[in-house]
Structure 1
Amino acid sequence: MTSLSLQFFTMGMMLLTGIGLGVIFDGYRVVSNELRFPRWSLPVLDLVYWLAASLLVFRVLYASNYGEVRAYVFIGMLIGILSYYWLLSKPVIRIVKWLIEAVRALIGFSIRTFDLLIVKPIILLYRFIRVLIGFGTALTIFLLKIVLQLIRPFWLLFRFLLSPLTRLLWRWLGPHVAKLKFKERWDKIISSVIKLWRRLF
């Protein structure tokens, strides 16, 4: 590539680089305004942008003419930046804002879909299970009361028929049971548990 061709090629690359830097700067500016970054982070983000821009310019310049800095390099970049802000800045800003709104709408739609398809069915299933368990418990208690009421006459009759035998057994076992002192031992166990509880807590 001749020297003149290399200069025009480098100038064209710098022009495209200037346009690219304008696009990135407008995108960064719109995103920072829309997302409302904290003020303390803006200087840091500005520094990151300019470091990245410098690295991009150096990389393109090195790929174009091995890093030689000439006046046409700055002219090409200046033309690219001015052309961008004259012709493309407003459309790019509108596109970036539209993309941000599209992403927000997509996130909102995803959240609503997740809530509708996952969260609400789980809540409804949980409530249904609670109602089902409550109904089952009430029905079980009701049936148990009916069964107990039906069994009670037979139990009373059975106890009445066995009362002579139980009296006889108690007369025979009563003295032996008294010797075992179940009540005193139970009281001691309860007292020991209470003392241990008070020591620990």
Structure 2
Amino acid sequence: MILDAQWITLIWMMLSGVVMGVAYDSYRVLSWQLQFPKWSIHSLDLLYWIASALFVFRMLYAGNHGQLRFYVFLGLIIGVCFYFWLLSVTTQHFVVMLIKLARTLIQWCGHILNILIVVPIKGIYKMVRVLFGFILAILIFLGKLVVQCLTPFGKLFYWMFRPLLSYWVTPQWMIRVGTKIAVIWKRWFQGGPRNE
């Protein structure tokens, strides 16, 4: 019974080593493909090792309730060596393929959004601008047409009321009114000559 638990723990640790290798290669390819800043690599390395330690502890706890034995480290080493010997290159190619697929999907989504949203909005904007310019041109044309139609009536109106307008607008009339007001002012307030 104890031997069975040891073999189960050894297998769990070998699987943990393989998973650690897959996570390491995936993280390394992602950081290279996405060009993470150099200052973030150390922080990400620390996060990787913390996550790996928690994962191994969880697997160890599931295998033998967290008891550390020699075969635990042996299983981890065998799993990691087996992964880097046989699966590392395949995992790296698979992660690169996934990144390319994700980029292609993002580009396709961008094209679809461009076709479904951006292009119609631009088309509506251009159509509204052309329509507004057309309406403005029609209004200007109608305004000029109205002015041309009303010009003869304006000339007729001016010809009919020209004597009256010239009388009210003539500076001579203003001078005469000003002179009369000055004479009245002098008579009433300044004691000018009175007829007795």
**Structure 1 segments of 4+ aligned residues over 4 angstroms from their partners:** 162-171
5+ residue gaps in structure 1?
Answer: 179-201
Q: Distance in 2 between matches of 1:115 and 1:159?
A: 62
State the match for 2:149 in structure 1: 150
Q: Which amino acid aligns with 1:121?
A: P
Which residue of structure 2 lines up, in the alignment, with residue 160 of structure 1? 159
- Partners in 2 of 1:122 and 1:169 — Cα distance? 60
The TM-score normalised by the length of structure 1 is: 0.79
Question: 2: CA distance between counterparts of 1:110 and 1:136?
Answer: 38
Give the TM-score normalised by the residue count of structure 2. Answer: 0.80
State the distance in 2 between where 1:153 and 1:114 align.
Answer: 59
**1:15 is matched by which residue type in structure 2?**
M
CA distance in 2, matches of 1:169, 1:60: 109
Residue identity in the other structure for 1:136:
I
Name 2:138's counterpart in structure 1: 139
Query: Counterpart in 2 of 1:115?
Result: 114
The CA deviation string for residues 36-76 of structure 1, in whole angstroms up to 9 with x for no partner, is 10001001100110011011111111121111110111111
Instruction: State yes or no: 1:92 paired with 2:91.
Output: yes
Task: Output the amino acid matched with 1:61.
Answer: L
Aligned-pair CA distance for 1:26: 0.5
- Which runs of structure 2 are paired with 1:1-201 in the superposition (5 Å)? 2-163=1-162
Aligned equivalents of 1:9, 1:35: Cα separation in 2: 38
CA distance in 2 between counterparts of 1:17 and 1:65 reads 14
How many residues of Structure 1 are paired with residues of Structure 2 in the alignment?
Answer: 174
CA distance in 2, matches of 1:170, 1:152: 22
The DSSP-based 3-state class of the residue aligned with 1:37 is: coil
Structure 2 counterpart of 1:56, one-letter code? F
Deviations 1:167-188 (A, max 9, x none): 78889xx99xx9xxxxxxxxxx
Give the Cα–Cα distance (whole angstroms) in 1 for the partners of residues 98 and 33 of structure 2.
11
What residue ranges of structure 2 are gaps of 5+ in the alignment? Answer: 178-196
C-alpha separation in 2, matches of 1:10 and 1:121: 61
Letter of the aligned partner of 2:73 in structure 1? F
What amino acid is the match of 2:23? I
Amino acid at match of 1:43: H
| Aligned-residue RMSD, C-alpha | 2.2
